[in-house]
Amino acid sequence: MDAGVVIVLIIAGALILFAVSCIKVVPQATTFIIERFGTYKTTWDTGIHLKVPVIDRVAKKISLKEKVADFAPQAVITKDNVTMQIDTVLFYQIVDPKLYTYGIERPISAIENLSATTLRNIIGDLELDQTLTSRDIINSKMRELLDEATDPWGIKVNRVELKNIIPPREIQVAMEKQMKAEREKREAILIAEGQKEAAIRVAEGEKESAILRAEAKREAAIREAEGQAEAIIKINQAKAQGLQMIKDVQADDGLVKIRSLEAMEKIANGQATKIIIPSEIQGIAGLATSVKEVIKQ
């Protein structure tokens, strides 16, 4: 092969490689910052782009995906002068690649320092108990403040979370004792309430039982009194009817005396050893004896 041909092929290959190197493909969720002679030129989004050789260069490749920054624990002091360690987790996203590239040097380090100072300011206005029970409030305040502060850097803070709140050891021991005392107190209250409820139920049962017994006695007395009253009424009605019958048949003194003798006869058949006969019926008794002797003859 001729040497000239080889040189031409080499030059052609070099040109092809050089042309290929000028073609850039930007992946999904990524942007390229392009500088021309060291000055910002443009921002390439997803797709195929052609770079001017020698003049243009890719200054920075930036991912637009949401990122997580886990910061080391920070020493903070509460309003009631309790020192504790708090570490935060920050979720952020780059929304303006140009500001992110040229807005600040080492933006993540800047966010970490800003997060630490913001956290100290917020915790400094809260007491220990409020700090332990106000995670959502602290998270919201930090997100708002950090998002506002990072706007000039092209960063959007989506979420801030307090991962751990670590009070001093003596405070932890005191809190454990307090929680134990609270649990024992609640237990004692529940036991007392149960005993009280049981005593109330027993008293109510005894009360209802006494009421039922009293009502039963009253009902029995009423029924007995009604029975006695009804019996008296029946007896009086019977006597009245007997008297009325005697009156209706117009019984005279003789009939009454005869009835008296019949009654005396029944009395004589009894176990009595002495019988007193009224004087008004003695004559009738003698007469009755004479009648019986005549009949026998």
* pLDDT on residue 93: 93
Range of the domain at 97: 67-167
Domain-located, residue 180: no
Q: What is the greatest pairwise CA distance in the chain? A: 200
Domain C-terminal end among 19, 47, 62: 62
- 225/145 same-domain check: no
Each residue's pLDDT tens digit in the chain (297 positions)?
A: 567 667 777 777 777 777 777 788 889 989 999 998 888 999 999 888 888 888 888 889 999 999 999 888 888 888 888 888 998 999 999 999 999 999 888 888 899 999 999 999 999 888 888 888 888 899 999 999 999 999 999 999 999 998 888 888 887 787 778 888 888 888 889 899 998 988 898 888 888 888 988 888 888 888 888 888 888 888 888 777 776 776 666 555 555 555 555 555 555 555 555 555 555 555 555 544 544 443 444
State both tokens at 133. Answer: 């029970």
* pLDDT on residue 297: 47
- 155/200 same-domain check: no
* pLDDT on residue 261: 57
State both tokens at 176. Answer: 């454990």
Domain C-terminal end among 44, 62, 80: 62
Contact 77, 124 (CB under 8 A): yes
Domain-located, residue 147: yes
> Is the pTM for the entire model greater than 0.75?
no
- 53/135 same-domain check: no
φ, ψ at 10 (rounded to 5°): -65, -45
- 101/147 same-domain check: yes
- 58/14 same-domain check: yes
Q: Where residue 148 sits, what CATH number does that domain have?
A: 3.30.479.30
CA-wise closest residue to 32 among 7, 14, 3, 57: 57
* pLDDT on residue 266: 57
CA-wise closest residue to 65 among 93, 84, 85, 40: 93
* pLDDT on residue 156: 93
String of b and e for 211-230 (b: at least 16 CB within 10 Å)? eeeeeeeeeeeeeeeeeeee
- The three-state secondary structure class of 82 is coil
Q: How many domains does the chain have?
A: 3
Instruction: Look up tokens 């500001």; give the residue.
Output: 99
Q: How far apart are CA 284 and CA 261, in angstroms?
A: 8
